Homo-oligomer: A and B are copies of this chain.
Amino acid sequence: MIIVMKGGIPKEHVHNVIRTIEELGYQSHVIWGTQRTVIGAVGDERGKARLHSLEVMPGVESVVPILQPFKLASREFKSVSSVVRVGNAEFGGGRLAIIAGPCSVESEDMVMQLALLAKEAGASVLRGGAFKPRTSPYAFQGMGMEGLRLLAAARDATGLAVVTEVLKPEDVDAIAEYADMLQVGARNMQNFALLKRVGEVGKPVLLKRGMASTIQEFLMAAEYILSEGNYNVVLCERGIRTFETATRFTLDLNAVPVLKKHTHLPVIVDPSHGTGHWEYVSPMAKAGIACGADGLMIEVHMRPEIAVSDGIQSLKPEVFRQLMQELAPFAQAAGRSL
> With an 8 A cutoff between CB atoms, is A140 at the interface?
yes
> With an 8 A cutoff between CB atoms, is A258 at the interface?
yes
> With an 8 A cutoff between CB atoms, is A88 at the interface?
no
With a cutoff of 8 Å between Cβ atoms, the chain B residues found around residue A290 in the complex are 283, 286-287, 289-291, 330
State which residues 67-91 of A face B: CB under 8 Å.
69, 71
Q: Which residue of B lies closest to A133 (CB)?
A: B192
Q: Which of A135, A211, A240, A279 has the most CB of B within 10 A?
A: A135
> With an 8 A cutoff between CB atoms, is A134 at the interface?
yes
Q: Which residues of A contact B (CB under 8 A)?
A: 42-45, 69, 71, 133-140, 167-170, 187-188, 190-194, 196, 210-212, 214-217, 220, 223-224, 227, 240-247, 250-258, 260-261, 274-275, 279-280, 283-284, 286-292, 326, 329-330, 332-334
How far does the alpha carbon of A240 sit from the alpha carbon of B249 in the complex, in Å?
13
Q: Which one, B136, B215, B247, contacts A220 given CB within 8 A?
A: B136
Q: Which residue of B lies closest to A193 (CB)?
A: B168
With a cutoff of 8 Å between Cβ atoms, the chain B residues found around residue A196 in the complex are 137
With a cutoff of 8 Å between Cβ atoms, the chain B residues found around residue A245 in the complex are 214, 245
With a cutoff of 8 Å between Cβ atoms, the chain B residues found around residue A251 in the complex are 253-254
- Could you give 19 example pairs across A and B, Cβ below 8 Å? A133-B190, A133-B192, A137-B220, A169-B169, A187-B190, A187-B191, A188-B191, A212-B241, A215-B246, A216-B246, A241-B243, A242-B242, A246-B254, A257-B284, A258-B280, A260-B283, A261-B279, A286-B333, A287-B288
With a cutoff of 8 Å between Cβ atoms, the chain B residues found around residue A168 in the complex are 168-169, 191, 193-194
Q: Which of A190, A216, A254, A274 has the most CB of B within 10 A?
A: A254
How far does the alpha carbon of A169 sit from the alpha carbon of B167 in the complex, in Å?
11
How far does the alpha carbon of A43 sit from the alpha carbon of B135 in the complex, in Å?
14
